[in-house]
Chains A and B, each alone.
Chain A
Amino acid sequence: MQNVGQSRRLTLSQPATYTITVQGILKEKSANMFDGLASTTNATLGTTSFTGPVADQAALHGLLTLIRDLGLPLCSVIWIEDHSS
């Protein structure tokens, strides 16, 4: 099945939207460390998801490093493609 419209290629220097999910429930104070990302929690799975834009790939890696340094197991990193033309 083909997607409607052209699919974009992701590059190193463009902004993009991601949803990053980690194991652990982060309350407001710690969630605030993830600047500019909205967070939601899932009590059943015990996870927190952060969704929002990153300036570029380097910014994304900065977030991943932060997650690493906080000792949060990484469940998923998903690129949210923007299909608006």
Chain B
Amino acid sequence: MMDHLVHTKLFIPPIRPTLVPRLRIIQKLNAGLAGKLTLICAPAGFGKTTLISDWLQQSDLPVAWLSLDPGDNDPMRFFQYVIAALQMIDPTLGQSVQEMLQSPQPPSLESLLPTLINDIAARSSKLGLVLDDYHIIETQSIHDAFTFLLDHLPSQVHIFVTSRADPPLPLSRLRARGQMTEVRAGELRFTPSEATTFLNEVAELNLSQENVAALSERTEGWATGLQLAALSMQGTPDVSAFIATFTGDDDYIVDYLLEEVLDQQPEKTRAFLLQTSILDRMTGTLCDAVTGGDDGQTMLEALRQANLFVVSLDHKRRWYRYHHLFADLLRTRLHQEMPDQVPLIYQQASAWCETSELVEEAVHYALMADDFTLAATLIAQHIEATTWQGKYNMTLSWLDALPEAMVRAHPRLSLTRAWLLFGFFNDSEAAIEPWLQNVERLLSVEGAVSTSKPALLAEDINGQRFEIDGVEAQKILTNVDILRANLARRRGDAAQAIALSQQALEHAPADLKTRVEILYLLAAIYDSIGTMGAASQTYAESITLNHTADNDYITLLITAHLIEVLWVQGQLHQAQGRFQGLTQIQTLRQGPAAGMAYIGMGEVRREWNDLAGAVTDLQTGIDLCRPFETWAVVTLKGLISLAWIKQAQGDTEGVVALLQEMEALAVGKPMPYPTARLAAAQAHLWLAMDNVPSASYWAKSNGLRIDDELSYLVERDYLVFARLLIVQSKPDEALVLLERLLQEAEAGERGARVIEIRILQALAHQAKGERSQAVATLEAAIALAEPEGFVRIFIDEGAAMVQLLNHAASQGIAPIYIAKLLAASDGEEEVPTVPLAPTIATDRAATPNFIEPLTEPLTKRELQTLRLLATELSPTEIASEMVVSVSTVRSYTKYIYSKLGVHSRVEAIHRARELGLL
């Protein structure tokens, strides 16, 4: 969510009441709506923006408008503004994307786009998006994202782009397919008759045909040129003389005319124009701050009335800006005439912006003033938020704009530099560590870390000292620990990473986001080394903590990981519970994190032999993850699980097809997925299909031995190897390996793996002819597996297991459970007695025993209200908690009752619990 949205960027510029009609172009624009893109491409001052605004006035297409500025070269900021613009038409657009943007590591553009596109596609009515001044954008990833958007543009969307130069988009392709309409300088030029209309009717100059023609020719029909000429002539007594001089030579017309116009202004106005020219956008009090006057608002109004190139930026007549060309030239003159004043003007602008909480602009003006101390202080205050929002380009450009000595002198800035080196550039520890040590050195000044008083830092820069308060210092030091923990993790030193994370947790301030971040990191480290007890506990802790922070996307992300961990722990019912808790988060049915959760649930269903349900969940999850290369590990897990379902159903062709698909996914891409794990998964499937030679080849080419070093990472590989050994009639070797694996799995509390190992031990004993040993071991496995309903873990082992199960049953061991297992091996599939989670697939009603879901889901705010209704709080207290009015709470409550089909608070809570909403 944007902290301060510059609303003027989203405002559709109003047109002047007096305008020369450009009928033929308007008609062209209308016709162009059938395509994808309308490109209006011409140099400055040709009236591009005016044209679109004019067209919009006459159209009833809802349009989102975004005026671009240099700050939009940061991809995250660019997209936040695109979403904000879209939300001006429809507040529900892009909400899921906004949530994703709030996660600790905001996803890449490629993750966001499909979700955004789906959101827009879900809307049935047409809409337009205007990107004004696209030539400002230079960032390649934004161009790439825009190209992606154009390639996948929903048919109800039309995009308009104005630019001074042809944008680096696939224009020729769009042209060739007739999907683009272009309006270029040639068409935007005023024809002689349009020039006549403008000069004589609009500007009321009453010129002769000859004079109009001369001006038209001299300006080449350029709108701004004609406007400047008109202004000059309006302030001149001798129009003919003016025209004669003007058309008599080749002087750069803007230069010439601007001089004329400026000369005609009273001194006060002239000074005002020059001083305010540095402002990207202006309002009365800001102008006053910069000029030292007190009539800024009046001046702006007067300029607008006089058509002196001032453009309105909102409906309230508060904000304005100059035409770009005009501003550029004024600025030049300012630098020439009053060079000493320039830094001061910028400083005053910066101060005003800071007071008005316009951070980015305040920083910009401070840097323009070359006042690095001021800029550094401002940047330090806001850089945490900027980085958290994923605006790395912006953060980087801020740091790069400061002298390095300044960055070194300030702990917050040094820390940010270190984080960027890690997260953005993936730099070496040798490069990062000095910055961290610098931070610690700066903060080791006595008293720096006490929360009770602010501390002064010893570093002097330009005779300035940076003050830093205790709470901020503590935050910074915590972040140093977190970064070092990440570095340890990256280098593979889990023990150190855990120690540092725990240290960070101890020192962490009460700030919720930071605590959630640390817990998530800690849990992920435990997860990666297979210490599942600690992992699930820590994930769960971070989720609970995050509830208070109310960020659904993070809940989704962490829960998806937790579901996986619970599976490995063998806690299948808990995994399902967690999944069901997720499905009520309405806006989050999209995106790879949701996909991961679906795949996790699919695995559980498969284990319970609910194959139909598993296929649905797995397929949903795979489709959600597939477009994202960085989530390929997860996609592969889903495909592997699907392959096992095919295997269970005897669909050998299906298995082979999926194996090929997995290989295609892994090959040729810069993936983090270790292809070794994929190879092991394949070998496992081969064994199930009795293809021993291939599996054998795999083991040999990887040089697997029973005394190899074991770790969680390679656990699955060695379990496959153990199976191979049994099939190759080497059960003793298998048993040695399995005993070692068992110790590791038990230490890591990996319940599901323990069951698997026990099963394999039983099979090994059986292969040795040690029947009673085999049955005893199997009994141990059953004891662990039965409470959680494990099925496939037995059955997937094939005929040998079936034989052993029969034998165990005949000895009176767990007869009912074994009967169920044997039925499964006969091809019986489970019909879910627990409700299926509602999926994106629409045929939910076909599933038996299904609790009727809400026909209209609760909105996020309604859900929040519902949670509070379940407490003892009164409506007034709820209103206060949610920072809304009591009548708003009553409205939400009304909607909630209506959607739940209830009439009272008690009923609502009851029904909500039934549905798993609470």
Contacts of A32 in B (CB 8 A): 332, 336
Q: Tell whether, in the assembled complex, residue A68 and residue B336 are in contact, meaning their CB atoms are under 8 Å apart.
A: no
Contacts of B328 in A (CB 8 A): 69-70
Please tell me if B365 contacts chain A, counting CB pairs below 8 Å: no
Please tell me if A4 contacts chain B, counting CB pairs below 8 Å: no
Please tell me if A8 contacts chain B, counting CB pairs below 8 Å: no
Contacts of B325 in A (CB 8 A): 69-71
Closest-CB distance, A71 to chain B (whole angstroms): 5
Contacts of B332 in A (CB 8 A): 29-30, 32-33
Contacts of B329 in A (CB 8 A): 30
Closest-CB distance, B42 to chain A (whole angstroms): 10
Please tell me if B253 contacts chain A, counting CB pairs below 8 Å: yes
Q: Tell whether, in the assembled complex, residue A25 and residue B336 are in contact, meaning their CB atoms are under 8 Å apart.
A: no
Contacts of B252 in A (CB 8 A): 24-27, 30, 48, 70, 72
Q: Tell whether, in the assembled complex, residue B249 and residue A25 are in contact, meaning their CB atoms are under 8 Å apart.
A: yes
Q: Tell whether, in the assembled complex, residue B250 and residue A69 are in contact, meaning their CB atoms are under 8 Å apart.
A: no
Q: Tell whether, in the assembled complex, residue B333 and residue A29 are in contact, meaning their CB atoms are under 8 Å apart.
A: yes
Q: Tell whether, in the assembled complex, residue B44 and residue A71 are in contact, meaning their CB atoms are under 8 Å apart.
A: yes
Please tell me if A43 contacts chain B, counting CB pairs below 8 Å: yes
Q: Tell whether, in the assembled complex, residue A71 and residue B250 are in contact, meaning their CB atoms are under 8 Å apart.
A: no
The proximity string for A residues 15-51 relative to B, scoring 1 for CB distances below 8 Å and 0 otherwise, is 0000000011111011011000000000100111000
With contacts A33-B332, A70-B328, A71-B325 taken as known, whether A24 is within 8 angstroms of B43 at the C-beta atoms is no
Which residues 37-85 in A have Cβ within 8 Å of B in the complex? 43, 46-48, 68-72
**Chain B interface helix/strand/loop/mixed:** helix
Q: Tell whether, in the assembled complex, residue A27 and residue B164 are in contact, meaning their CB atoms are under 8 Å apart.
A: no
Q: Which of B44, B45, B224, B251 contacts A27 (CB 8 A)?
A: B251
Q: A44's closest neighbor in chain B, by CB?
A: B250
Closest-CB distance, B184 to chain A (whole angstroms): 14
Cα distance A23–B254 in the bound complex, in angstroms: 13
Q: Tell whether, in the assembled complex, residue A71 and residue B43 are in contact, meaning their CB atoms are under 8 Å apart.
A: yes
Q: What count of chain A residues pass the 8 Å CB interface test?
A: 18
Closest-CB distance, A63 to chain B (whole angstroms): 14
The proximity string for B residues 239-250 relative to A, scoring 1 for CB distances below 8 Å and 0 otherwise, is 000000000011
Contacts of A27 in B (CB 8 A): 251-252, 255
Contacts of A43 in B (CB 8 A): 249-250
Closest-CB distance, A57 to chain B (whole angstroms): 14
Closest-CB distance, A45 to chain B (whole angstroms): 8
Cα distance A26–B336 in the bound complex, in angstroms: 16
Contacts of A68 in B (CB 8 A): 43-44, 164-165
Q: Which of B45, B224, B250 contacts A24 (CB 8 A)?
A: B250
Please tell me if B123 contacts chain A, counting CB pairs below 8 Å: no
Which residues 131-187 in B have Cβ within 8 Å of A in the complex? 164-165
With contacts A33-B332, A43-B250 taken as known, whether A69 is within 8 angstroms of B255 at the C-beta atoms is no
Interface centre among A26, A43, A71, A72 (most CB of B within 10 A): A71
Closest-CB distance, A48 to chain B (whole angstroms): 8
Please tell me if B899 contacts chain A, counting CB pairs below 8 Å: no
With contacts A69-B164, A71-B325 taken as known, whether A29 is within 8 angstroms of B43 at the C-beta atoms is no
With contacts A30-B332, A32-B332 taken as known, whether A71 is within 8 angstroms of B45 at the C-beta atoms is yes
Q: Tell whether, in the assembled complex, residue A46 and residue B250 are in contact, meaning their CB atoms are under 8 Å apart.
A: yes
Closest-CB distance, A82 to chain B (whole angstroms): 30
The proximity string for B residues 302-335 relative to A, scoring 1 for CB distances below 8 Å and 0 otherwise, is 0000000000000000000000110011001100
Q: A48's closest neighbor in chain B, by CB?
A: B252
Q: Tell whether, in the assembled complex, residue B324 and residue A24 are in contact, meaning their CB atoms are under 8 Å apart.
A: no
Closest-CB distance, B369 to chain A (whole angstroms): 19
Q: Tell whether, in the assembled complex, residue A69 and residue B324 are in contact, meaning their CB atoms are under 8 Å apart.
A: yes
Cα distance A46–B250 in the bound complex, in angstroms: 5
Q: Tell whether, in the assembled complex, residue B251 and residue A69 are in contact, meaning their CB atoms are under 8 Å apart.
A: no
Contacts of A48 in B (CB 8 A): 252
Cα distance A77–B253 in the bound complex, in angstroms: 22
Please tell me if B435 contacts chain A, counting CB pairs below 8 Å: no
Please tell me if B794 contacts chain A, counting CB pairs below 8 Å: no
Closest-CB distance, B323 to chain A (whole angstroms): 12
Q: Which of A25, A29, A30, A70 contacts B250 (CB 8 A)?
A: A25
Q: Tell whether, in the assembled complex, residue A69 and residue B44 are in contact, meaning their CB atoms are under 8 Å apart.
A: yes
Q: Tell whether, in the assembled complex, residue A71 and residue B336 are in contact, meaning their CB atoms are under 8 Å apart.
A: no
Please tell me if B631 contacts chain A, counting CB pairs below 8 Å: no
Closest-CB distance, B627 to chain A (whole angstroms): 35
Which residues 323-356 in B have Cβ within 8 Å of A in the complex? 324-325, 328-329, 332-333, 336
Cα distance A33–B330 in the bound complex, in angstroms: 11
Q: A73's closest neighbor in chain B, by CB?
A: B43
Q: A26's closest neighbor in chain B, by CB?
A: B252
Contacts of B336 in A (CB 8 A): 29, 32
Closest-CB distance, B437 to chain A (whole angstroms): 32
Cα distance A32–B252 in the bound complex, in angstroms: 13
Please tell me if B222 contacts chain A, counting CB pairs below 8 Å: yes
Q: B46's closest neighbor in chain A, by CB?
A: A71
Closest-CB distance, A49 to chain B (whole angstroms): 13
With contacts A68-B164, A69-B44 taken as known, whether A29 is within 8 angstroms of B255 at the C-beta atoms is yes
Q: A24's closest neighbor in chain B, by CB?
A: B252
Closest-CB distance, A33 to chain B (whole angstroms): 5
Cα distance A47–B249 in the bound complex, in angstroms: 11
Closest-CB distance, A37 to chain B (whole angstroms): 14
Q: A23's closest neighbor in chain B, by CB?
A: B250
Q: Which of A24, A29, A33, A69 contacts B253 (CB 8 A)?
A: A24
Closest-CB distance, B185 to chain A (whole angstroms): 10
With contacts A43-B250, A46-B250 taken as known, whether A30 is within 8 angstroms of B45 at the C-beta atoms is no
Closest-CB distance, A22 to chain B (whole angstroms): 8
Contacts of A71 in B (CB 8 A): 43-45, 222, 224, 254, 325
Closest-CB distance, B743 to chain A (whole angstroms): 59
Q: A32's closest neighbor in chain B, by CB?
A: B336
Cα distance A48–B251 in the bound complex, in angstroms: 10
Q: B332's closest neighbor in chain A, by CB?
A: A33
Contacts of B249 in A (CB 8 A): 25, 43, 46
Which residues 712-736 in B have Cβ within 8 Å of A in the complex? none
Contacts of B164 in A (CB 8 A): 68-69
Cα distance A72–B329 in the bound complex, in angstroms: 13
Which residues 244-275 in B have Cβ within 8 Å of A in the complex? 249-255, 259
Contacts of A47 in B (CB 8 A): 250
Contacts of A25 in B (CB 8 A): 249-252
Cα distance A48–B252 in the bound complex, in angstroms: 9
Cα distance A26–B251 in the bound complex, in angstroms: 6
Closest-CB distance, B238 to chain A (whole angstroms): 22
Cα distance A47–B324 in the bound complex, in angstroms: 24
Contacts of B224 in A (CB 8 A): 71
Cα distance A72–B222 in the bound complex, in angstroms: 12
Q: A41's closest neighbor in chain B, by CB?
A: B250
Q: B250's closest neighbor in chain A, by CB?
A: A46
Cα distance A25–B253 in the bound complex, in angstroms: 9
Q: A42's closest neighbor in chain B, by CB?
A: B250
Contacts of B222 in A (CB 8 A): 71
Contacts of B165 in A (CB 8 A): 68
Q: Tell whether, in the assembled complex, residue A24 and residue B251 are in contact, meaning their CB atoms are under 8 Å apart.
A: yes
Cα distance A43–B325 in the bound complex, in angstroms: 25
Contacts of A46 in B (CB 8 A): 249-250
Contacts of B333 in A (CB 8 A): 29
Closest-CB distance, A77 to chain B (whole angstroms): 16
Contacts of A33 in B (CB 8 A): 332
The proximity string for B residues 29-47 relative to A, scoring 1 for CB distances below 8 Å and 0 otherwise, is 0000000000000011100
Interface centre among A46, A48, A70 (most CB of B within 10 A): A70
- Name 11 interchain pairs, CB-CB below 8 A, sorted by A: A24-B251, A25-B252, A26-B251, A27-B251, A29-B336, A30-B254, A32-B332, A47-B250, A68-B43, A69-B325, A70-B44
Chain B positions within 8 Å of A, measured between CB atoms, are 43-45, 164-165, 222, 224, 249-255, 259, 324-325, 328-329, 332-333, 336
Given A30-B254, A68-B44, A69-B324: 17 more A-B contacts, CB < 8 Å: A24-B250, A25-B250, A25-B252, A26-B252, A27-B251, A27-B252, A27-B255, A29-B259, A29-B332, A30-B252, A43-B250, A70-B254, A70-B325, A71-B43, A71-B45, A71-B254, A71-B325
3 residue pairs, one from A and one from B, having the closest CB atoms: A46-B250, A24-B252, A30-B255
